Amino acid sequence: MAFELPALPWAEDALEPAYSARTVSFHYGKHHKAYVDKLNELTAGTDLEGKSLEDVVAAVAGKADKQAVFNNAAQVWNHTFFWHSMTPGGGGRPSGDLAEQIDCTWGNYDQFVAAFKAAAVGRFGSGWVWLVADNGELKITSTANAEMPAGEGVKPLLTCDVWEHAYYLDYQNRRPDFVQAFFDSLVDWGFAAKNLGG
């Protein structure tokens, strides 16, 4: 069974104006799709063909001769997770247990956002910034290129894509403005809370 481009959880124009339909069309329809297509090309006729995306990532992670497979598989997973990290009418502050844990870890929500933005702006080149639960403790982590949070007990809660293609059409080189818009208008705290509790 070939890998397929997962459906978006909302319509292409659903995140406007903070994230335009044009950006979604290019980012999802071109970039994300290209990773799926390349992954199918790289795994066709190999022992990885027919495996789940997660199994492929696990099988090739850290193997230099399988870097291309890892890059494309991880990017398919990362992008799918990113789309679910945003929602129409999103943004604002989290509530419940997640809000309490953020306040406990960073002092308050604003300090959490400042730390997340610092990680996003500080990521040189392309990559991702994640809110993760690491053995129950909330942390912000940044990964380069296609890398994802990994390790025993590490559970991603949400991510923000800071590859330039993720925001350039809407924000040009203003990565801090994109990350602020992510928190003001896009982030899906329900998704993060579900991941924390699941």
Distance in angstroms (rounded) separating the CA atoms of residues 34 and 76: 9
Q: Do the beta carbons of residue 50 and residue 152 sit within 8 Å?
A: no
CATH no., domain 96-197: 3.55.40.20
Domain ranges for the chain: 21-84, 96-197
What DSSP letter does each residue of 13-61 carry, written as one string?
A: TTTTTTS-HHHHHHIIIIIIHHHHHHHHHHHTTSTTTT--HHHHHHHHT
Between CA 76 and CA 66 the distance in angstroms is 16
Task: Report the run of H or E that residue 151 belongs to, with start and end.
Answer: none
> How would DSSP label each residue in 69-124?
HHHHHHHHHHHHHHHHTB-TT--S---HHHHHHHHHHHSSHHHHHHHHHHHHHHS-
What's the pLDDT at 153?
85
What are the residue ranges in the chain where pLDDT is below 70? 1, 198
Q: Residue 150: its pLDDT value, please?
A: 82
Element (H, E) at 175: helix 175-181
CA separation for the pair 23, 12 (Å, rounded): 9
pLDDT in tens, 148-169: 998 778 999 999 999 999 999 9
CATH fold of 21-84: Helix Hairpins (1.10.287)
| pLDDT score for 198 | 58
Question: What pLDDT is stored for residue 72 in this prediction?
Answer: 97
